[in-house]
Amino acid sequence: MSDLEFVADLGVQWLRRPVPTTPGLAALLAQDALNAEEQAAVVQAVGASVADACATHGYHSMDLVVLHPATPGLEAALQRFDQPHTHADDEVRYILEGEGIFGFLDAQGEERVVCVRAGDYLRVPAGVEHRFTLTAVRRIKALRLFADTAGWAAHYTQRPVGPLAMKA
Ligand SMILES: [Fe+2]
């Protein structure tokens, strides 16, 4: 079974949505850090392009996650993200810049590891076991969509796993 089939069987939606070419957006995405105003500008620039997903799945809010090598506490955060977990709400990530690695696990504990880049849109349904890390690039900007931010805590499954990385 291909990684794409494995991921689809889990109910994960993995689509290509080309990043909009809104004026000014590329320059903002090229920065490492973004202040609150700049983050809001990015959300404003790309929000309309995911209006269909918001309508279909009832996502009411969105924000931008920005990680880069100088993000305070980055390595500690990555050590949490790369532990297998689930959420009570969908995890939706629209990658606008940089790279990330998702691991998806089935009920038997088989894991498939995929790399995501700008233009990748993922909807991980509530309850699907997964984990995440960055690549060596240590940079990502992703739009997050939420139906209910309160329902979006991580529930760690305590499944024993090694470090998350792309297979050589
Ligand atoms: Fe997650």
Q: 22-57: per-residue pLDDT in tens?
A: 989 999 999 999 999 999 999 999 999 999 999 999
- Position 166 pLDDT exceeds 90: no
Ligand 1 centroid–CA 93 distance in Å is 10
122 CA distance to ligand 1 centroid (A)? 11
pLDDT in tens, 125-135: 999 999 999 99
Kindly tell me if the per-residue pLDDT of 168 is higher than 80. Answer: no
Q: Mean pLDDT over all residues of the chain?
A: 94
With a cut of 70, say whether residue 59 has pLDDT above it: yes
- pLDDT number for residue 70: 96
Q: Provide the percentage of residues in the chain whose pLDDT is more than 90.
A: 91
Predicted confidence at residue 20, as pLDDT, reads 94
Span from the CA of 19 to the centroid of ligand 1 (angstroms): 22
State the distance from the centre of ligand 1 to the C-alpha of 129, rounded, in angstroms. 8
Environment class of 55 (CB within 10 Å of its CB; exposed 0-12, middle 13-18, buried 19+): exposed
Q: Compute, in angstroms, the gap from residue 168 CA to the centroid of ligand 1.
A: 24
Q: Give the residue-averaged pLDDT of 15-20.
A: 95
3-state helix/strand/coil string of the chain: CCHHHHHHHCCCEEEECCCCCCCCHHHHHHCCCCCHHHHHHHHHHHHHHHHHHHHHHCCCEEEEEEECCCCCCHHHHHHHHCCCEECCCCEEEEEEEEEEEEEEECCCCCEEEEEEECCEEEEECCCCCEEEEECCCCCEEEEEEECCHHHCCCEECCCCCCCCCCCC
pLDDT at 130: 98
pLDDT at 152 over 80: no
What CATH number was assigned to the domain covering residues 3-148?
Answer: 2.60.120.10
Residue 150 pLDDT greater than 90, yes or no: no
Local confidence band at 151 (pLDDT 50, 70, 90 cut-offs): low
The pLDDT value recorded for residue 149 is 75
Q: How far is the CA of 155 from the centre of ligand 1 (A)?
A: 9
Q: What is the pLDDT of residue 84?
A: 97
Q: What distance in angstroms lies between residue 81's CA and the mean position of ligand 1's atoms?
A: 7
Domain edges within the chain: 3-148
Distance 23 CA to ligand 1 centre (A): 31
